Amino acid sequence: MYSAAVRDHFANPRNTGSIEQPDGQARVDSPVHNDRVDLMIRVQDGRLAEIKYRVLGCVAAIASSSMTSVLATGLTLDEALALTPEQVAEALGGLPEGKLACSVLAPEALRLAIADYRARQP
Ligand code: FES
């Protein structure tokens, strides 16, 4: 049912955890289940130097959070804002139809964390 990349990122999620004194952070709750992504970013020279997250959710949500952090680390903030759930799912080798909704949590949390960062700037 799941691709090799999904199984890998589920078994070994990258960049999990939290950042002490993050530059931006956000929480996204799934409207459908009790799923949640808490995501934090550290910004350096206009780029995402570090992304950490905690995720409560299914295999697809965990793998998508992991892949979002991998794809977005090192990007400029505008590049990261352009990252779509479809790109995350594609990088994971695809997700089953019914699981695409789970892949929106992390990119949405990333967008909100960047907005939080920008709102904090003087
Ligand atoms: S996160 Fe709830 S089913 Fe995937």
Q: What is the pLDDT of residues 25-59, one digit of tens each?
A: 999 998 778 899 999 999 999 999 999 999 999 99
Amino acid at 98: G
Which residue range is the domain that position 71 belongs to?
Answer: 4-120
> If pLDDT is split at 50, 70 and 90, which confidence band does 90 have?
very high
> Cα 97 to chain center, whole Å?
19
User: Which residues have C-beta atoms less than 6 Å from ligand 1?
Assistant: 30, 33, 35, 57-58, 60-61, 99, 102
Q: Which pLDDT belongs to residue 31? A: 76
CA of 56 to the centre of ligand 1 (A): 9
CATH number of the domain enclosing 109: 3.90.1010.10
When divided into structural domains, the chain yields a total of 1
Residue (of 59, 69, 73) closest to 11 by Cα position = 59
CA of 87 to the centre of ligand 1 (A): 18
Whole-structure pTM value: 0.96
Residue-wise pLDDT tens digits, 53-89:
999 999 999 999 999 999 999 999 999 999 999 999 9
Ligand 1: atom nearest CA of 101 is: 4
Burial environment of residue 92 by CB neighbours within 10 A (0 to 12, 13 to 18, 19 or more): buried
Q: Which pLDDT belongs to residue 101? A: 86
CA of 51 to the centre of ligand 1 (A): 21
CA of 22 to the centre of ligand 1 (A): 26
The answer to which of 42-46, 64-68, 96-100, 109-113 has the lowest mean pLDDT is: 96-100
* CA 115/CA 122 separation, integer angstroms: 13
| Pair of tokens at residue 120 | 């904090």
